[in-house]
Amino acid sequence: MKILFTFFNPSGGMQTLNRVRCQALHDRGVECHLLYTHPGKGQQNIPNIQTYITNNDDEIRGLLTREAFDLIVVCTDIYLAERFRGFGYKGPLVFEVQGLGTLDEAEQVISNFNERIHKLTDALLYPETIHLQTLFKGGFPSVSQYCFDNPIDCDQFGYTNYPAKSFPILGWVGRIQTNKNWREFLQIGQRLLAIHPELYLWIFQDDTLFEPEQKESFEQFVAETGISSRLISHSNVPHGQMADYMSIIGDSGGLLCSTSILEGFGYAVAEAMLCRCPVLTTDSDGIRRLVINNHTGKIYTRGQLDEAVNAALSLMHDPALRDRIRMNGEWHIRNNLSSGLYADRFLQMSHQLMRRRSKIERRWS
């Protein structure tokens, strides 16, 4: 079987998802290719996977003709799915959604895409996230739907023991945009610095992807609060090194803080847990499969800074709680979100679509 996965650019959680699932499926004998319509800094993280970066009609048409893919999975870009059908692709086409921003943004996108999804696609794929389940089951009852957890590379990504830092670290991963809620992270950090002035704030981001007005507000906040000397920004860290950083944060006595408004799946949270880095997070929906409050991590109410700071301090000051959450978090990821489990579920979906292949092809003939 030969499968094509597509997205706008190799960055963030999508480049992680595509890399991990391609490797998992390759181990099951499936040939996987990636198509990104725009370049991105995440290209450095794509080893040994046939990858195309083009938005050129002739090149994409030639790719479809030459490779004759058995299945195509298009993430978010319904207009690319429309182009595929226009270029003559007649096989099964899955429309995938991993996250669409805030709930209002997600509802607007789905409303705009409704007609094309019904017309162009043969199935929907999304993670086990309540807001996506509600949107799709309510809006597309006649379209086949597949809903299962994203994979984590538990074999190549994980905890490494380093000498402990002499200061605790509060980490954050994301773009400088509204949905990632960066301001709340800095506010939490500012309050923790008043208690632990030796604390450092580490931000991990792709500095080529941001909302301009949010970037301006971010820089203004940092300047006005005077936290710049305690803030270190890491941009476009190679994915393999992120395991080292998460391990270091965990061993520093600090934690990862996730402040997102809404997520389809929280890769940063899952990978931190795998590296024994305790997590404090908002209830951004997608993290519910990962964080069980006070068991595998801590959940706080978005906007409640006192609650967030108290939760962070409990992780920093209570060694027994901290150790228990670190061990439980790693165990939870390894046993519930492995790439092998994902491959099983994805192949079950693929085989069901292959059995419908003749009917699907007749539809486009």
Residue-wise pLDDT for 211-225, tens only, equals 999 999 999 999 999
Q: What percent of the chain has pLDDT over 70?
A: 100
Query: Residue 147: pLDDT above 80?
Result: yes
Buried b (16+ CB within 10 A) or exposed e, 16-53: bbbbbbbbbbeeeebebbbbbbeebbbeebbeeeebeb
Chain mean position to CA 361: 32
Q: Which fold has domain 169-336?
A: Rossmann fold (3.40.50)
Q: Which of 27-36, 130-139, 220-229, 238-247 has the lowest mean pLDDT?
A: 130-139
Architecture of domain 2-151+338-363: 3-Layer(aba) Sandwich (3.40)
Chain mean position to CA 320: 30
More confident residue, 264 or 74: 74
| The predicted structure's pLDDT at residue 99 | 82
With beta carbons less than 8 A apart as the criterion, state whether 205 and 245 touch: no
Query: Residue 64: pLDDT above 80?
Result: yes
Query: Residue 133: pLDDT above 80?
Result: yes
Give the pLDDT band (50/70/90) at residue 209.
confident
User: How far apart are the C-alpha atoms of 182 and 152, rounded to whole Å?
Assistant: 25
Q: CATH 3.40.50.2000 residue ranges in the chain? A: 2-151+338-363, 169-336
Q: Which two tokens stand for residue 65?
A: 């003709």
| The predicted structure's pLDDT at residue 240 | 87
Give the pLDDT band (50/70/90) at residue 256.
very high
Question: pLDDT tens digits, residue range 81-114?
Answer: 999 999 999 999 999 999 887 788 888 988 999 9
